[in-house]
């Protein structure tokens, strides 16, 4: 493989041979092929969650676990890991300047200054989609997270994901505390029970992530009054009730 002298790239994509991911990465960095603030996009960095499994014998899973830990320990870069529908994962790795690395060594990075350790959050509609993403982000930042959803099974699944992430050897999280709560936020009794459960468990609420919403996708001329009421009961009335009940509990 040869490149013109001084040739650099804003983005490099790594895929294929998992056991050689570290070699690919080192070739890129050692030959200065990535521009400052350039990004390396790495496919399959979670490999269908096999990197989570403590006793896995899967060669690809083990290779990716080693790769992820290698990246996490490299001061030349910063990274974020994105989950995909099939749990394969994509890692975005950005090269940082020497000056930035020096500044990070002198004090806390911006990510550390944005930590939420000791905070309590809830996410409505947290069992899937954007809500699931919010739950993961809050948990990674250190918050205790109540995953609220009408479907208790989905809420439990997200809580399990957070637990597995907290116990994954290459994720630098001290532990994600999370609980599932089944609630229909269009019902005032459910909203009150949701808040009481969280405060009883953790003593306070600091972050209210009112994410739940529905969309029946009906054309205006075909929308029934029942659909209209259902939509506004969740999207507006439900959000209002969550905010109202939380006012005295937010700290």
Q: What is the CA radius of gyration of the chain?
A: 22
Instruction: Give SS3 for 180.
Output: strand
What whole-number distance in Å separates Cα of residue 77 and Cα of residue 37?
A: 9
Residues 88-129: tens digit of each pLDDT: 677 888 887 655 544 444 555 556 667 888 899 999 999 999
The CA distances from residue 75 to 41, 69, 170, 245, in Å, are 17, 12, 15, 45
Q: 43 pairs with which residues across the strands?
A: 90
Helix then strand then coil, % of the chain, to nearest 5:
45, 20, 40
What DSSP letter does each residue of 94-136 carry, written as one string?
EE--HHHHHHHHHS--HHHHT--TT-EEEEETTTSHHHHHHHH
Residues 163-217: tens digit of each pLDDT: 887 655 545 555 679 999 999 999 999 999 999 999 999 999 999 999 999 888 7
pLDDT of residue 210: 95
The class of domain 9-112 in CATH terms is alpha beta
- More reliable by pLDDT, 46 or 247: 247
pLDDT of residue 208: 94
What whole-number distance in Å separates Cα of residue 116 and Cα of residue 216?
A: 35
What whole-number distance in Å separates Cα of residue 215 and Cα of residue 192?
A: 24
What whole-number distance in Å separates Cα of residue 171 and Cα of residue 64?
A: 13
Local confidence band at 244 (pLDDT 50, 70, 90 cut-offs): very high
Which CATH fold would you assign to the domain 120-246?
Rossmann fold (3.40.50)
What whole-number distance in Å separates Cα of residue 134 and Cα of residue 127?
A: 10
Alpha carbon dihedral 52, 53, 57, 62, in 10-degree steps, equals: 20
Residues 1-46: tens digit of each pLDDT: 445 556 788 889 888 788 888 899 999 888 888 888 788 888 877 7
Look up residue 18 and give its DSSP letter: G
Domain-wise residue ranges, the chain: 9-112, 120-246
CA proximity to 94, closest of 34, 45, 46, 43? 34
| CATH topology agreement for domains 9-112 and 120-246 | yes
In the chain, where does DSSP find H-type helix?
21-30, 59-72, 98-106, 110-113, 129-140, 152-166, 188-202, 225-232, 239-246
What whole-number distance in Å separates Cα of residue 128 and Cα of residue 150?
A: 11
- More reliable by pLDDT, 99 or 49: 49
Question: Do residues 65 and 167 touch, judged by C-beta distance below 8 A?
Answer: no
Question: Do residues 45 and 71 touch, judged by C-beta distance below 8 A?
Answer: no
Local confidence band at 49 (pLDDT 50, 70, 90 cut-offs): low
Check pLDDT > 90 for residue 55: no
Dihedral-angle region of residue 216 (phi above 0 means left; psi in -120 to 50 means alpha; beta otherwise)? alpha
pLDDT of residue 73: 85
């Amino acid at each position: 493989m040869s490149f013109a002298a001084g040739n650099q790239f804003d983005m490099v994509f790594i895929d294929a041979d998992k056991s050689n991911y570290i070699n690919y990465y080192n070739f890129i960095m050692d030959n200065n092929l990535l521009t400052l603030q350039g990004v390396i996009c790495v496919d399959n960095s979670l490999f269908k969650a096999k990197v989570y499994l403590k006793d896995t014998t899967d060669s690809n899973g083990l290779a990716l676990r080693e790769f992820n830990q290698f990246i996490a320990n490299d001061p030349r870069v910063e990274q974020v890991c994105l989950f995909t529908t099939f749990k394969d994962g994509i890692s975005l790795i950005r090269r940082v300047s020497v000056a930035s690395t020096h500044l990070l060594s002198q004090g806390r990075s911006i990510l550390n200054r944005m930590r939420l350790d000791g905070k309590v959050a809830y996410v409505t509609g947290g069992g899937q989609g954007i809500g699931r993403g919010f739950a993961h982000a809050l948990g990674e930042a250190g918050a205790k997270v109540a995953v609220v959803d009408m479907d208790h099974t989905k809420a439990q699944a997200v809580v399990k994901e957070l637990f597995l992430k907290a116990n994954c050897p290459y994720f630098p999280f001290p532990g994600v505390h999370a609980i599932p709560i089944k609630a229909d936020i269009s019902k005032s009794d459910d909203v009150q029970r949701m808040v009481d459960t969280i405060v009883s468990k953790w003593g306070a609420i600091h972050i209210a992530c009112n994410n739940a919403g529905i969309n029946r996708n009906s054309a205006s001329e075909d929308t029934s009054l029942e659909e209209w009421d259902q939509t506004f009961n969740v999207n507006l009335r439900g959000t209002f009730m969550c905010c109202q009940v939380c006012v005295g509990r937010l700290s």
